[in-house]
Amino acid sequence: MNFIRRILRTRPKKDEAFYRELKIILGFTPNNILIYNKAFIHRSIKNLDPEGNPQNYERLEFLGDAMLGAVIASYLFKKVPSGNEGYLTQMRSKIVSREHLNELGRDLNLVRLVTSNVAKSKFGENINGNIFEALIGAIYLDRGYTFCKKFIHKRVIQPYVDIPKLEGKITSYKSLFIEWCQKEKKTFLFDVYDDTAKDPIRHFSVKLSLEDKIIAKGRATSKKKAEEIAAKRAYFVFQKEISKN
C-alpha cells in the first residue's frame, strides 16, 4: 500500500486522477499506466512514437476485440454444450454486437477519460464501444489473459449475458428484413442520401421501399445506422409476416 502511495506522489495530478478512476473501473491495480493512457487517446491528437507510429486507441481496439471474442467464445462453448457452431457464432455476435459494446462503454462513462482535439459532443455513438475494446486490449498487454478474462466476466458476462434473452434478441433488423424479402421473393430498396441540412454533424437519410412502395424511413449519422433504423420500423409494420418465417 505504501509502495502505491509513493508511486502516486511522483505522478502529476492529472495522471494521479486518471490512475484512481482507472483502478475503480478495472477493479484491480494497473501496472503500466502508459498502456492505459494510449487506450484513451483519440486519433485527432495525432501523437506519434519515436518510430513515427500513431499513438491512439485504434490498435488496442483491434486487440481488445480479438480478446473479447475469444473469452466470450470460450464461455459459450462451456456454458452451452449442446450448441452447434452456427448457434455459438450467432450468440457470440449478439454479445459483442456494436450496440451492446456501446452500451457497455456508456455504462462505464469511458468517454469522460478520452483525450481529444475534437469536442466530445461531436463523437459518434461508436466511440463508447471502441474505447471499451481498447481498454480490454490494454488490460491484456498490462496484466495478461487471466486479468483480461476476469474483467470481461465481471463487466460483460455477469451483468449482461442472459442466454434465454439473447436467443430471442434481434441484432440486425436489416438482415432479418432482407432475409424475409428473399424468402418471399419480394423486391426491396434502401435508398440512402446525404441529409445533413444545417446540422453540424453529417447525417444520412434512407427511404426503404418494398415492392416499389416506401414503407419506412430512417435518419442517422451513418448510412448503416440509418438503414438499420428504417429496417427496424419496417419490421414492426410486418412483424406478423416476418415472424412466421
Catalytic residues: 65, 133
Nearest to 101 by CA among 77, 120, 128, 122: 128
C-alpha cell of 186?
419480394
Q: Enumerate the H helices of the chain as residue ranges.
A: 2-9, 13-26, 33-39, 58-79, 85-95, 98-107, 127-143, 145-152, 158-160, 163-167, 173-184, 223-237, 239-243
Cell 462513462 sits on residue: 109
Q: Are 131 and 40 in contact (CB under 8 A)?
A: yes
Mention every residue, 6+ apart, whose C-beta is less than 8 A from residue 68.
Answer: 96, 133, 136, 152, 156
Q: Which residues lie across from 220 on neighbouring strands? A: 204
Residues 125/127/128/131 CA torsion (nearest 10 deg): 170
Distance CA 25, CA 150 (A): 13
